[in-house]
């Protein structure tokens, strides 16, 4: 025989939110009476094409110039550019600055003029004349003391090194700076105190061997218990079980509710 359980309200499948119809909040007909309605406006129909109509006022299509303000027309001065007028023959034509040539005027008697020069044409050489080219001329060198009309500077020469008797040959065998030893200052001055650094002193240690954390086995408790503790996973509880709700007064006193 199959065991019967009491019905659970949470398992009942009711209609969703889309099954309920609420009155609209847009428009005037059928508006939700619990909501305040905003003012409604309508669009006017198209104007008639007849010659005469009762309502023939202009719409918002006329243009208002930007020169008109709420105080009237703008009083800023405005200017315009006219076209070029045609010249008339009877009018006096005044010459411009480009019509004058002051450089062509002859000099006056008291006016001083700078010297002027002209460049003539190239003269033709005769075929019998042997004119040398520029690379045929050569200037005397300026190096050395053999120039008669130029002062010469002092000349120096570098001779070779001497293997015997030269400056690089040490005949006297004189010791250099590294041949002398440095005398300690404590020999001819009072000796200063001297200090030394000792090593780290060893601390006394106990040589007794002690077990570490890995030497213990807390899971082996069969010495004083029958067996080691075991744990298991419980069953899955139903989502529709009513939780146990207790009054805080019973919990504070430790009593069990009836």
Residue 235 has pLDDT above 60, yes or no: yes
Q: What φ, ψ does residue 75 adopt, rounded to 5°?
A: -95, 15
At residue 145, the pLDDT reads: 75
Tens of pLDDT, residues 162-194:
666 666 677 777 777 888 888 888 888 888 888
Tens of pLDDT, residues 196-219:
888 888 888 888 888 888 888 877
**What is the C-alpha to C-alpha distance for residues 247 and 167, in angstroms, rounded to an integer?**
118
Q: How would you write 65-118 as a 3-class SS string? A: CCCEECCEECCCCCCCCCCCCCCCCCCCCCCCHHHCCHHHCCCCCCCCCCCCCC
- 246 vs 21: which has the higher pLDDT: 21
What pTM was computed for the model?
A: 0.16
At residue 155, the pLDDT reads: 78
**What is the C-alpha to C-alpha distance for residues 168 and 162, in angstroms, rounded to an integer?**
8
Average predicted confidence (pLDDT) for the chain:
76
Q: Is residue 24 a contact partner of residue 32, using CB atoms and an 8 Å limit?
A: yes
Tens of pLDDT, residues 18-54:
777 888 888 878 888 888 888 877 777 766 666 555 5
- Partners of 68 in the β-ladder: 73
């Amino acid at each position: 025989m199959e065991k019967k359980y009491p019905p659970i309200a949470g398992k009942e499948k009711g209609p969703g939110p889309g099954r309920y119809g609420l009155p609209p909040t847009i428009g005037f007909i059928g508006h939700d009476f619990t909501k305040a309605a905003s003012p409604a406006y309508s669009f006017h129909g198209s104007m008639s094409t007849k010659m005469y109509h009762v309502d023939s006022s202009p719409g918002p299509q006329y243009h208002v110039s930007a020169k008109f303000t709420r105080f009237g027309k703008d009083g800023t001065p405005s200017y315009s550019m006219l076209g070029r007028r045609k010249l008339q023959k009877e009018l006096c034509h005044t010459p411009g600055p480009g019509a004058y040539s002051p450089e062509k005027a002859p000099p006056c008697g008291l006016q001083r003029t700078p010297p002027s020069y002209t460049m003539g044409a190239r003269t033709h050489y005769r075929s019998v004349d042997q004119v040398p080219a520029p690379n045929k001329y050569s200037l005397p060198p300026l190096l050395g003391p053999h120039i008669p009309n130029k002062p010469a500077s002092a000349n120096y020469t570098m001779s070779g090194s001497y293997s015997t008797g030269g400056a690089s040959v040490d005949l006297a065998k004189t010791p250099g700076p590294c041949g002398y030893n440095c005398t300690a200052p404590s020999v001819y001055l009072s000796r200063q105190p001297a200090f030394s650094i000792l090593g780290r002193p060893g601390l006394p240690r106990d040589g007794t061997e002690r077990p570490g954390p890995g030497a213990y086995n807390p899971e082996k408790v069969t010495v004083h218990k029958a067996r080691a503790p075991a744990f298991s996973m419980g069953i899955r509880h139903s989502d529709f079980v009513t939780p146990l709700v207790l009054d805080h007064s019973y919990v504070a006193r430790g009593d069990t509710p009836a």
